[in-house]
Structure 1
Amino acid sequence: MIRALSEAQRRDWLRLARTENVGPVTFDQLIQRYGEPSLALAALPDLARRGGRINPIRIPTEAQAEAELAAGAALGARLICACEPDFPQPLAALDPPPPLIWTRGKIELLRRPTVAIVGARVASAAGQRFARGLAAELGEAGLVVVSGMARGIDGAAHEAALGTGTVAVLGGGIDDVYPPEHGELYGRICRDGCVVSESEPGRTAVARDFPRRNRIISGLSQAVVVVEAELRSGSLITARLAAEQGREVLAVPGSPLDPRAKGCNDLIRQGAAICEGAEDVLRALEGLRGFREPDRRFAPPPGPEPDDGLREKVAALLSPTAVSRDEIARAAGGPPAAVFAALVELALAGRAELQAGGMVAAC
């Protein structure tokens, strides 16, 4: 549901998104259940206690939320919540979308068709040359190039697309320039492109932030092109997320003698389209329809509340191996709405991890 938020609602939306143990799935479930972020915030302490939490759950104060908003404003950045009209449609179509993003620069680029180009940080000269050429040609065709502003392929793609439109998605805050040598590039993207981050301003990225960043890179894009990637790399995570999100995945084939080609060759082996130039990307995009936001209601009828017995039965069914929420509901034998409510309570207590795609695992 697209709607405008008052200043108080935006502050509460931010507080809920920054609450301990509230990820995108839990946030989405809470908004569907309570309708308003203020009502969800009021319910959080009791929900976490029922899930088995002993210590109070950490909820940002109004002053802390106001401080984050002020820090973003001082940078010239803008906060966009998932329900607001300017939230990028491709991200809104994710299930669930990130609750909010910070943006800096030309946000109108987020309304244009986009393609992600990602790849190795320690990239070959040939790989960087290919990324530059591909980004330039896609830009000339009217596409915005999205990447992660990392060394190597990312940086080459951004440089080539600055004149036609590029979006950099950061793992840290909207002002977290990494690597440091990309300071000038960052400044140029802020001026001529757009920078996007899910994290609060001033935050320095840590390892767990990059999968979230990769999800936004793929989520913003109609297609993801991997230029170079070893078998264990963040670029392959981006490609996997893109496939799960229904995006097109393309890979540039390479020599079997180069470890940086093994990831791309493996993607092709698994069904990714071969990319030898911009025409392959444009062909893959032919006939694609626009993104449609999932049918979400902000104030659904309340479902049955889980009792202690059902809640602990659900907790006992969880394991480190992720399974679907529907599978948990079948095994628990309770009403699905009550099982899903129990999972939210367990997540708030730090006993369950709600993942995208309806999956859940024990923490």
Structure 2
Amino acid sequence: MQRDELAVWLRLALTPQLGPVAARKLLAAFGLPDAIFAQGEAALAQAVGGPLAQSLRQAPEGWQEQLEATLAWLAQDPGRRQVVTLADADYPAALLTIEDPPLMLYRMGRIGTAPQRALAVVGSRNASPQGLQNARRFSRAFAQAGVTVVSGLALGIDGAAHEGALEGAAPGAVATIAVVGTGLDRVYPKRHLELAHRIAERGMLLSEYPLGTPPLAANFPRRNRLIAALGQGTLVVEAALQSGSLITARLAAEQGREVFAIPGSIHSPHARGCHALLRQGAKLVESAQDVLEDLRFVLPAAAAPAADDGEEPEGEGEAATGEDPLLAAMGYDPIGLDALIARTGIPASRLSARLLELELAGEVARLPGGLYQRQASA
């Protein structure tokens, strides 16, 4: 993109109070941004109203600085960094179907390869160990089947989904797409800096926000519409009743995409959002193959997820909850002592003593067969 073209698109995108819907009205009425800025205030007011017309007649604060920063960012790695606009032929077609596609998209990574099949995998930031394991194993299987996993780079399920996709993808494939709520010159959360670098090498980072945009709370629910649109379906692994994952699922359904949910223990708060989705018509899945067959994606036999092998998940979300680490490792389903030792690394004698303390406190119940189960708090 040439400097002058980037300059007018940035000016349009940075105009205060001008959202994607109003911007599309202007583009439909007058054509490309340079034609929009050539209009008089009266003509602009007819399209978007007087206050916005006045804003359009003035250059946004910081516009030139943003232009220079964007040009410098692009020049650092021109083969792997790109800004695309609504007028570009390689703007993602899936986003053109939503009501408010971003005017501009910033992309970093494997920008020259457009995934043919994609699936959104989302869930709780404060995920259970089982949820993290499910997200990772399902996403690994999706990637092995040639499906790009789309998620949001957040802690918990998002991070596990990206990790699984990176493990399963073939060389040269776009393993995973991380849609972020900041500028692409920032990584949030900082704990995922190394993961973001690996995604840029083997997948893609995508943002609608200008460089320098900090992690503002309002940006994350908004970016969920892009996650939902980029996938041909959305799988919710775990979710509370009030969560961004349910927003993504709702947006996916409104956009005509399939919604899938993994059921969980009736005692687990992490499962309540998924159960609510299932009551509303989401499709219950027990394996990656259930999703792939429903979407008519072919899954190689070797890619089918194996039975639970006790693999210790990468605990990304449990530390953020502030709860007892042992309770977090247990989850809410019955679990044996050996599996708990594998998950926690706590010696058997210490673990048995701690389980007894939790049992006496009413936090854990002992079940037949040498199993233990965490008790719901409500």
Compute the TM-score of the two structures, normalised by the length of structure 2.
0.70
Matches within 5 A, 1:92-131: 92-131=96-135
Matches within 5 A, 1:331-350: none
Partner of 2:49: 51
Matches within 5 A, 1:1-363: 7-43=3-39, 45-46=41-42, 47=44, 51-53=49-51, 56-57=54-55, 59-60=59-60, 63-74=64-75, 76=77, 77-163=81-167, 164=169, 165-286=175-296
Residues 149 and 162, structure 2, Cα contact 8 Å, conserved in 1: yes
Q: Please report how far the alpha carbon of residue 130 of structure 1 lies from its aligned counterpart in structure 2 after TM superposition.
A: 0.5
Q: Please report how far the alpha carbon of residue 54 of structure 1 lies from its aligned counterpart in structure 2 after TM superposition.
A: 9.9
Q: Please report how far the alpha carbon of residue 6 of structure 1 lies from its aligned counterpart in structure 2 after TM superposition.
A: 5.5
Deviates more, 1:91-100 or 1:157-166: 91-100
Q: 1:266-321: CA deviations, max 9, x gaps?
A: 0110011112111121122129xxxxxxxxxxxxxxxxxxxxxxxxxxxxxxxxxx
Q: Which amino acid aligns with 1:21?
A: Q
Which runs of 5 or more residues in structure 2 are unaligned? 170-174, 298-378
SS of 2:87 mapped into structure 1 = coil
Percent sequence identity over aligned pairs: 43
Q: Please report how far the alpha carbon of residue 211 of structure 1 lies from its aligned counterpart in structure 2 after TM superposition.
A: 2.2
Q: 1:187-235: CA deviations, max 9, x gaps?
A: 1111121100000112112011112211111111111100001011011
Residues 147 and 157, structure 1, Cα contact 8 Å, conserved in 2: yes
Task: Work out which structure has the larger RCO, using CA pairs closer than 8 Å and 6 or more positions apart in sequence.
Answer: 1
Q: Please report how far the alpha carbon of residue 30 of structure 1 lies from its aligned counterpart in structure 2 after TM superposition.
A: 0.8
SS of 2:234 mapped into structure 1 = strand
Q: Please report how far the alpha carbon of residue 133 of structure 1 lies from its aligned counterpart in structure 2 after TM superposition.
A: 0.7
Q: Which amino acid aligns with 2:106?
A: W
Q: Which amino acid aligns with 2:105?
A: I
Residues 10 and 67, structure 2, Cα contact 8 Å, conserved in 1: no
Q: Distance in 2 between matches of 1:223 and 1:193?
A: 19
Q: Please report how far the alpha carbon of residue 74 of structure 1 lies from its aligned counterpart in structure 2 after TM superposition.
A: 4.8
Q: Which amino acid aligns with 1:36?
A: L
Deviates more, 1:134-143 or 1:99-108: 99-108
Q: Which amino acid aligns with 1:25?
A: V
Residues 6 and 67, structure 2, Cα contact 8 Å, conserved in 1: no
Deviates more, 1:59-68 or 1:245-254: 59-68
Q: Please report how far the alpha carbon of residue 65 of structure 1 lies from its aligned counterpart in structure 2 after TM superposition.
A: 4.9
SS of 1:107 mapped into structure 2 = coil
Name the larger-Rg structure. 2
Q: Distance in 2 between matches of 1:54 and 1:226?
A: 39
CA RMSD of aligned residues (A): 2.3
